[in-house]
């Protein structure tokens, strides 16, 4: 326990610090709520015009998918940790190398805190709006529906934990790219466009053509949004849901192993700038 305590403290300290940015949480909620409402109306029109082209998702499942995806948006790793990028540019990265701790574990804990602290307030506000306020206003057909069973809710909770673990492992790879290339902006710009498509944020993955479904399910970015949301909405159940959890865990371990290997090489020839 003593070995784990510093990383838990790093997570808690950054988590509590970022929770103080209430204005940012409200602004993010307003933006995601507006964008979610637009997408709900678009998909309602799509299902009304071409219900046979909707794939495995019903309209209610798609609407829940949209609201939950907006709630979890901050957990999707669009880019690396901005503090690491700043530390690389300023030369302050040397302080992390001097800590008597595992640098990978230290950065990983802080990356997890950075994402979850931004996501939780927005998710709570989104649930209050789309899951409570819309049904009370008579718009239940366009609302965020609850899970169909306690077992489904439990599987979603496990998948959400794996989502944070997987996204944090991917953020670590982006952090190391920033250290390697001395700037994170180019890598972030390249990976963000891939993430937005293959995580299911731009378009729910079940709505892609049938011939792509096998690849879309097993690729790593599905575990960063699509798999948890489909488990919650009831599109993935039974063995398919367990396979989704296994894929999330497997990709997390793969990215952690790659990250640790790359960190040893990058830190062995670390260049620091600034002063």
Q: Report the pLDDT averaged over residues 109-131.
A: 92
pLDDT band at 51 (very low <50, low <70, confident <90, very high): low
Identify the burial level of 102 via C-beta atoms within 10 angstroms of its C-beta, where 0-12 means exposed, 13-18 middle and 19 or more buried.
middle
Q: Residue 198: inside a domain, yes or no? A: yes
Give the predicted TM-score (pTM) of the model: 0.91
CB atoms within 10 A of CB 66: 25
Is residue 273 situated within a structural domain? no
Tell whether 274 is covered by a domain: no
Give, in order, the Cα–Cα distances in Å from 135 to each of 1, 29, 193. 46, 19, 34
Q: What is the pLDDT of residues 64-74, one digit of tens each?
A: 999 999 999 99
Is 122 domain-assigned?
A: yes
For residue range 162-207, what is the model confidence (pLDDT) as tens digits?
999 999 999 999 998 888 877 777 788 888 889 999 999 888 998 8
* Residue 14 is assigned to a structural domain of this protein: yes
C-beta separation of 199 from 221 below 8 A: yes
Closest to 67 in 3D by CA, of 122, 143, 138: 143
DSSP 143: S
Under the banding of pLDDT at 50, 70 and 90, the label for residue 141 is: confident
Domain limits at 49?
5-268
Rounded to an integer, what distance in angstroms lies between the CA atom of residue 204 and that of residue 105? 33
Rounded to whole angstroms, the Cα distance separating 261 from 265 reads: 7
Domain tally, the chain? 1
Which pLDDT does position 174 carry in this prediction?
Answer: 92
The pLDDT of residue 190 is 84
Q: 95 pLDDT exceeds 60?
A: yes
99: helix, strand or coil:
coil
Which carries the bigger pLDDT value, residue 154 or residue 24? Answer: 154
Q: How many residues make up the chain in this entry?
A: 275
* 275, part of any domain: no
In this structure, what token pair is assigned to residue 125? 């506000």
Binning pLDDT at 50, 70 and 90, where does residue 55 land? low
Q: If you average pLDDT over every residue of the chain, what do you get?
A: 87
């Amino acid at each position: 326990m003593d070995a784990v305590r510093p990383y838990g403290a790093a997570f808690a300290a950054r988590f509590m610090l970022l929770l103080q940015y209430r204005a940012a949480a409200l602004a993010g909620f307003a933006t995601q709520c507006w964008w979610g409402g637009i997408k709900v109306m678009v998909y309602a029109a799509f299902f009304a015009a071409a219900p046979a082209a909707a794939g495995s998702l019903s309209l209610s499942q798609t609407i829940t998918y949209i609201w939950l995806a907006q709630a979890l948006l901050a957990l999707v790793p669009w880019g690396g940790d901005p503090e690491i990028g700043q530390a690389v540019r300023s030369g302050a990265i040397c302080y992390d190398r001097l800590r008597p701790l595992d640098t990978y574990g230290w950065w990983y804990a802080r990356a997890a805190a950075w994402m979850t602290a931004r996501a939780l307030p927005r998710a709570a506000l989104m649930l209050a709006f789309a899951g409570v306020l819309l049904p009370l206003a008579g718009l239940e057909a366009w609302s965020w529906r609850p899970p169909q069973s306690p077992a489904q809710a439990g599987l979603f909770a496990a998948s959400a934990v794996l989502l944070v673990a997987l996204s944090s492992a991917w953020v670590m790879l982006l952090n190391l790219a920033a250290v390697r290339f001395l700037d994170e902006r180019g890598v972030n710009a390249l990976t963000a466009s891939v993430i937005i498509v293959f995580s299911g944020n731009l378009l729910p993955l079940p709505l892609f053509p049938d011939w792509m479904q096998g690849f879309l399910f097993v690729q790593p970015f599905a575990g960063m949004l699509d798999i948890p949301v489909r488990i919650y909405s009831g599109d993935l159940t039974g063995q398919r849901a367990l396979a989704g959890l296994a894929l999330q865990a497997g990709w997390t371990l793969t990215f952690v192993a790659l990250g640790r290997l790359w960190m040893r090489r990058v830190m062995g020839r670390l260049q620091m700038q600034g002063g």
